[in-house]
């Protein structure tokens, strides 16, 4: 294994893109589907203080995920948009979605919640991988 080649600007940009996708995914595109599956109304979410703390933790989790994806890409030694997309898809499906589906079954969560999260996180890592590859 060679020297790590990490571009912190690319990691930050990819993290921001990952979070922006989350805002669009849960706040616009699948907002009503997600709220119904959670059994919540927008007023209930706001009444609980909004999602500020969750979003801050989510941003940190995204940073850790994107950093780890950058580590994988560095170890592989491929810094292209296509290798980033493929690496993101592999990490999203193989690690995030698979474990989330298993936990969703054990925790008896509604399948739509599990699918929404697995798809969001996989697509987010694919976008992050593309950015990491493009900006390297």
Q: What is the pTM of this model?
A: 0.91
pLDDT tens string 64-108: 999 999 999 999 999 999 999 999 999 999 999 999 999 999 999
Residue 41: predicted pLDDT:
84
pLDDT tens string 100-121: 999 999 999 999 999 999 999 9
The two three-digit tokens of residue 121, written as one number: 């996180």
**2 band by pLDDT with thresholds 50, 70 and 90:** low
**55 band by pLDDT with thresholds 50, 70 and 90:** confident
Question: Which long-range contacts link 54-60 to residues 24+ away (Cβ below 8 Å)?
Answer: 55/19, 58/19, 58/22, 59/15, 59/19
Cα distance between residue 18 and residue 11, in whole Å: 10
């Amino acid at each position: 294994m060679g020297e790590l080649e990490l571009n912190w600007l690319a990691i930050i940009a990819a993290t921001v893109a990952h979070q922006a996708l989350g805002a669009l995914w849960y706040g616009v595109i699948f907002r009503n589907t997600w709220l119904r599956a959670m059994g919540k109304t927008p007023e209930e979410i706001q009444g609980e203080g909004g999602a500020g703390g969750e979003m801050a933790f989510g941003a940190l989790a995204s940073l850790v995920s994107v950093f780890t994806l950058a580590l994988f890409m560095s170890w592989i030694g491929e810094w292209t948009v296509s290798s980033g997309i493929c690496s993101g898809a592999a990490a999203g499906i193989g690690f995030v979605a698979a474990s989330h589906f298993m936990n969703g079954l054990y925790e008896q969560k509604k399948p739509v919640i599990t699918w929404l999260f697995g798809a969001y996180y996989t697509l987010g890592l694919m976008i992050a991988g593309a950015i990491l590859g493009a900006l390297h």
